Amino acid sequence: MQHHALQEIHHLAAFVAKFPKLFDEVKSRPGFEEIERRIVASIGNTDTVSDGLRAYEAAQSLIPNWKFVFASASGPLPGLSINRNFSDGSAVRSLFPTERVLVLDKETHSSMLAHRDAIFPIDYSIALDTQALSYLAPFLEGATKGLPDDFREVFEFIARDDVNVDPLPYMLENIPNAKDECNHFEIRRRLEAYEILRTIDAQQLQESGEVRSTLTPEERRENVKARFAEMLEIGSDSKKLAASMRDQTLSYCALLKMASIQLRKPSSSAYQSKISEFVEFMDKELKTMLAREAIIAASLFERGQSKFKFFGKIQKKNDHNLKELRAMAWDFAHIRHIESVATRIEWSHRDDGQQARYFFPALLTCDKRYIEVLDLYPLKCYAYKDGMSRPMPFPAVDWLQAIAGDESAQNSFIGEYYSNEAVKRRDLERHVGGLEELKAKLEIELLSAAS
């Protein structure tokens, strides 16, 4: 943000802090949303937590309903939603590269000023990705062949009384499959395994090693029936189904394009040409600038499939490229889902009945290739206000430098792709063209590049 514009915003914030009853009037003025966006960006993009705190204090009167969560070397632990590595490569990944966080909101900040610390209720959940949840049923049935060597270690962790896990990635990914009766048995079987895990008798497991649910088989079946009915309801409604799959479709289109570019231009010496083509695609065809996908594309274009194992199966003459890319797109959709649930404090189910002020999500996966993708794009901060369906993320990596280059090139990049005019153009055009048509076109392009 230009220094002069930021100074003007701080003067306005100081005025509202002095006369707080005028906030509603200021908020109703045309252009306030842009001011609000700039303030949040100026806080989230700071290089250090202390800089973020100072930026928040300078403008907090204009953003009373916003919450900020920073990756931090000190501060509270977000439950067990922290990065954890198991012995054979399975892992839990939070949204941050650090274990601890700093949170900022009006109530917490006031408490910090008054008491030098703040006490507030939190909740968390670790989502099992599709692969990890799918391993549960065979593991519980004693069929451990083909499972990761550390899955018993993973199971002992997620079976603990103090560890909260959820099946949402598996349910989301299998909503389209639930329409086909041929898939019903396997989906129910895996949801049943999750129900056993969710209601496991932890004391019995610790004392004897026996896996036993605290619910009766009939109670578990009713719970599975309810979860499965929810999946069927969404899958049978075309609008709900499209909405549930939008993130996957968006990422699938991006992956199709970056794979096509890489197959056509495999040399790392063509890096600048490749990244320029991908950025133009996001701007003109996808009509959405995806920072995470841009970082992943940059890594692919520089390293190639042989070194970037996530793309290892995407090769010339491979008849399964589209199938592989669809599955990879779900991996990206699950990351976005984990980000979005950070705003869902209403999902909190604390044992003491308190409403959590913050909800911290994380993801557990046994896929080493996927973990590398997660580690390429951690966040340093995210911010949201009441009613937002997903937070504004601020990456810990300097994605602009990785994509655009030096400071001069970054300024040109921002001017071309992030000016008010460019953002408004994409917003308008996004509602004209359909993702399904673009997806079909990109699939043909990928098949041609791989032939």
How high is the pLDDT of residue 5?
75
pTM of the entire predicted model: 0.92
Per DSSP, helices labelled H in 20-117 are 23-27, 32-44, 49-59, 106-115
Q: What is the pLDDT of residues 31-78, one digit of tens each?
A: 899 899 999 999 999 999 999 999 999 999 999 999 999 999 988 899
How high is the pLDDT of residue 349?
66
Query: What single-letter DSSP state applies at residue 379?
Result: E
How high is the pLDDT of residue 432?
59
How high is the pLDDT of residue 119?
81
Q: Mean pLDDT per 10-residue run, the chain (451 residues)? A: 74 91 92 92 95 95 96 92 96 97 92 80 93 95 93 94 93 95 96 94 85 93 96 92 92 98 95 96 96 97 96 97 98 95 76 81 97 97 92 94 91 92 90 83 98 94
Place of tokens 């970056």: 258
Domain boundaries, the chain: 1-124
d(CA 442, CA 426): 19
The closest of 330, 355, 336 to 345, measured between CA atoms, is: 355
How high is the pLDDT of residue 348?
63
Backbone dihedral angles phi then psi of residue 317, each to the nearest 5 degrees = 65, 15
Query: Which neighbouring-strand residues pair with 362?
Result: 126
Report helix, strand and coil shares of the chain as percent, to nearest 5: 60, 10, 30
